[in-house]
A and B are shown apart, each in its own frame.
Chain A
Amino acid sequence: MEFFFREGVIKHIDHQLTSWIILGWNDIKNRYRRTILGPFWIVLNTAISIGFLGIVYKTIFKLPPENFLPYIAAGIVVWNLIFINTSESCTSFISHKYLLQGIPIRPELIIVRLVFRNMIIFLHNVLVVIFILIIFGKGFSPHILLIVPGLFLILLNAVFLGIILAYLSARFRDLPQMINSILSIMFLITPVIWPRRLLGDSQLIAILNPATHMIAIIREPLLGAMPPLSSWVVVFINTIVLGMCSVVVSRSFRYRLNYWL
């Protein structure tokens, strides 16, 4: 009896998970429906900011764009994915207050929808990188296939971190602001728009920063290189630790959540 009950529960969760992924997909479809360009507005936005960075670097630092532009483009696109997932997760439970108090759903599903939606937007943005690679006549190597497991890890990471931040932000309302400040500092100290070798002897800043490794495991394959094994290991361990923390957080706070909202 117990066994069947568990089976039923598991099936139920699976069904809910697919439902919320469909909802994430639906968010994207809606964006297409509302404007002709749909999510391509975001792509255009990404393209323009990368373009301007290219101009700035070329005129100020006199750097040849074919060397740094693909690197910067890939960095920005991956960073945007990490940034938007983290930032949106913080406010997700607070903004779904009425839903959480109206229908008994698992709060974590809200994060799944959000991360899935942002993944689709990321895949749109990757087109900018591919476009730049083509313009500068850079070839593609089979290493590019490595973005699949890389992206999978990043998304898993985003879901776990998102769950933790969403619960904590529901309890501590000033946390979303703090996280946003931390993210903007992270952007500056992470090798997103500058190469890691410029750190010289201070490599530790990059090595200790998980964002460096998260960006590396997608950026390197995009640019046709093999990401360093150490980056894989860091992201992998990071994901496992966050995963365990998120289980603890959601187990401890799931039933407190509605009292906080």
Chain B
Amino acid sequence: MAEINIKNASVQFPVYNDSILSLRMAFLNLIGKRGAGPKIRPVNALNHINLHLCDGDRVGLIGLNGAGKTTLLRLMAGIYKPVEGVVKSDGIIGTLFDLYLGMDDEAPGIENIFIAGTILGLTSEQIKLATPAIIEFTELGEAIYRPLKTYSTGMRVKLAFSIATSTHSEIMLIDEIIGVGDIRFLRKAGERIAKIVNEAKVFVIASHAEFVLRDFCKTGLVLERGDILYSGPIDDAIKFYNQMNLNGDL
């Protein structure tokens, strides 16, 4: 059984400025030559989050920019550790947070399928098997043999998306990235995500697109300034969010 269990977890970002990131300054501060440096005031990104997701949960994260959606996803993935509270997860985690995937700008697309696939944890055989399908999905044609640096943003999205979605994970975490790409690709991407949603035991996506949320999620979490304001059926969550922004602090 796949599950993510978050208990009373908080995330704070220390705000580092240049002098705090410097060893020389740290040393000078230590020997008291400059007095105490500027105090770091941490930014609260998530406050006392409690969340339990298990098999069959399809969750949409809703919130304005800076509400903590990406931070929550990274917390679930284990990229951030909470400053207090605990996060426990069980199951193979797959992420689709950005389109970088450790790819090499100088290497051709086909080579990058190998690089990104390996970083995502696929074996050479698995990559070999998956490559034709990945190339087909990208519709890049001959361009797959050209270096990545010659690709347009749209082409990069296609490549990264089709590689990242070729892994089979029990817990799939997706940050909103499918906003790019032409209309035809968006439709294909939608179908691919629908397939992931069916395969993954736990599925979490952060999105601003209502149709994405309605199509793929059962539950919605509305986030604001690091708090979960609402948790419930996706349609109600969207309604709550829209209401909040209509009346809200505007």
Interface residues of A (CB under 8 A from B): 15-16, 19-20, 22-23, 26, 30, 34, 96, 98-105, 171-175, 178, 255, 258-260
Q: Which residue of A15, A20, A255 has the most chain B CB atoms within 10 A of its CB atom?
A: A255
Complex contacts, B22 vs chain A, CB 8 Å? 172-174
| Stretch of B29-37, B59-67, B76-84, B182-190 that contacts chain A | B76-84
Do B80 and A173 touch (CB < 8 A)?
Answer: no
Do A255 and B81 touch (CB < 8 A)?
Answer: yes
Complex contacts, A100 vs chain B, CB 8 Å? 79
Complex contacts, B13 vs chain A, CB 8 Å? 259
Do B78 and A260 touch (CB < 8 A)?
Answer: no
The majority secondary structure among interface residues of chain B is loop
Do B102 and A99 touch (CB < 8 A)?
Answer: yes
Do A259 and B14 touch (CB < 8 A)?
Answer: yes
Shortest A29–chain B CB gap in Å is 9
Do A96 and B102 touch (CB < 8 A)?
Answer: yes
Interface residues of B (CB under 8 A from A): 13-14, 16, 18, 21-24, 26, 74, 77-81, 93, 95, 97-98, 100-102, 104, 106-107, 111, 114-115, 118-121, 123-124
Do A98 and B78 touch (CB < 8 A)?
Answer: no
A-B contact count (CB 8 A): 75
Shortest B64–chain A CB gap in Å is 21
Do A15 and B23 touch (CB < 8 A)?
Answer: no
Do A101 and B79 touch (CB < 8 A)?
Answer: yes
In the complex the two chains form, what is the Cα distance from A102 to B80 in whole Å? 11
Do A172 and B26 touch (CB < 8 A)?
Answer: yes
In the complex the two chains form, what is the Cα distance from A104 to B106 in whole Å? 24
Do A19 and B121 touch (CB < 8 A)?
Answer: yes
Q: Of B21, B100, B106, which is within 8 A of A172 by CB?
A: B21
Q: Which residue of A15, A172, A175 has the most chain B CB atoms within 10 A of its CB atom?
A: A172
Shortest A188–chain B CB gap in Å is 23
5 A-B pairs besides A173-B18, A173-B22 with CB distance below 8 A are A30-B111, A101-B98, A103-B97, A103-B101, A258-B80
Do B16 and A99 touch (CB < 8 A)?
Answer: no
Do B111 and A174 touch (CB < 8 A)?
Answer: no
23 pairs, A vs B, C-beta closer than 8 Å: A15-B121, A26-B111, A30-B104, A30-B106, A30-B111, A34-B106, A99-B100, A99-B101, A100-B79, A101-B79, A101-B97, A102-B101, A104-B93, A172-B21, A172-B23, A172-B26, A173-B18, A174-B22, A174-B23, A255-B80, A255-B81, A258-B80, A259-B14
Q: Of B18, B107, B119, which is within 8 A of A19 by CB?
A: B119
In the complex the two chains form, what is the Cα distance from A146 to B123 in whole Å? 34
Complex contacts, A98 vs chain B, CB 8 Å? 98, 100
In the complex the two chains form, what is the Cα distance from A175 to B98 in whole Å? 28
Shortest A64–chain B CB gap in Å is 44
Do B101 and A175 touch (CB < 8 A)?
Answer: no
In the complex the two chains form, what is the Cα distance from A33 to B163 in whole Å? 23
